Structure 1
Amino acid sequence: MQISNKKLTAFITGATSGIGLETAKLFAMNKIDLILCGRRQSALDTLKKQLSRHTKVHTLNFDVRDKDAVFEAIDSLPQDFSEIDILINNAGNAHGLNKFDEGDIEDWDAMLDINVKGLLYVSKAIIPTMIKNRAGHIINIGSIAGKEVYPMGNVYCASKYAVDAINQGMRIDLNQHNIRVGAVNPGLVQTGFSDVRFKGDKERAAKTYEGYEPLKPEDIADIIHFMVTRPYHVNIADLLVFPTAQASATIVNKQL
């Protein structure tokens, strides 16, 4: 895809692992310039070295929860990276899997701050340039948890329902500016997601993916690349994707 025959620049949050990492790799192979964002500078440095063989890469080290850091980082972009064509709001996580009355307030804060407020801060900083250019594509990474509430998902599901609502609201409000907005909502994807949710309990995390073939981060990256390479008059607004073994948030055909 090209807008006015210019080379594209993509801004990816949560770029050092999982879906963000695989999207960055695929974009690089397709000569899309990259602004890669994450909290681990060493991982960003390694990724920049790897992908700079294929395209131009700039890294930003900040936590999406930190509003001032978000705006300062984006304001610091050099001229070569100042025109952002594609925004992938990928940063997000789940903390804990507890009944509501047993939930940890710090976990709730982390999920709402990263999954909701972080997405808002980054979008708020980048959208003005897209409005000025009357072009741009925002893809918000949601979840089946934003479509169905499941047992002990409560606040994580609430955060992803918020992403679903924000995605719809963005699409409506930015329509007049010729900006494409869409979401990808995956089911079970084998990433470090469960390691974070279960706070380093590797055995419990591994059981999440036993007995069936889950989606891989590469699968979601391929879908994201498909979305951004459609002709500009085509906007994939809301996409739900499961592994074949999954039928809903709670129904998975496991062969154990």
Structure 2
Amino acid sequence: MTTRNRGKEGSDNRLFGDLSMQSKMREAIKDLSYLLSRGFSEKSSLALVGNRYKLNNRQQRALQGMSEANDKLIKRAERCLLPNQLVEKEVMLDGFNVLILLESALSGAYLFKGLDGCYRDLSSVHGTYKKVQQTPEAIQLIADFLQENKVKKATWIFDKPVSNSGRLKITLREFADAHHLNWEIILDNNPDKMIVEKKQIAISSDAWILDHAAAWCNMVRHVVDAHIPQKNVVES
């Protein structure tokens, strides 16, 4: 059994836990979102705002995930479905995105609430996915959400090149079979594109997917708010 956790670094309490720092982050979000709404490039805008507020690379990554142009926020809101709208529908799960986010939340890592209402974190697979102590609970929470909302079929999509994605596929297949769940687990070289092209309901917090999917559901936000009371959320 693994004892590792997901997401939180030793400096995060200093970088994100201080109330004055959170206030500074909110001001930075306003500035970055204004620039994005005016059509300025994300890269140059992030550098400009990051320098103005003296944010380090980790803080700038959080800022990037919390900010967005106003026109994109409007379009995302128009296509966002509530959980009760998933009844008898098929959904496509952005596998690593949703699983790692929930692992992070369960680990006590900081979550960053974007202007679009999505939680995001600072974890990434870096080419290799490693199971953590919270992985089984995260899978169970997702399964419970899908069953409670009577989802007809759930298709998990994972990055094929990521090491251990094959093992994770086996884990999910065994879980689904044991609990009689209508799950399909797919490994693909371009999972984001596949999710969008299927024209089904996407479950993700990835900005590109949210901007291109026909419809989406903010599953992780609903699960975290309902089932993880001890969470570290930085508000936008």
For Structure 1 versus Structure 2, the TM-score category normalised by the shorter chain is: 0.3 to 0.5
TM-score (ref. length: structure 1): 0.31
TM-score (ref. length: structure 2): 0.33
Q: Which has the higher helix share?
A: 2
Greater relative contact order (CA < 8 Å, ≥ 6 in sequence): 2
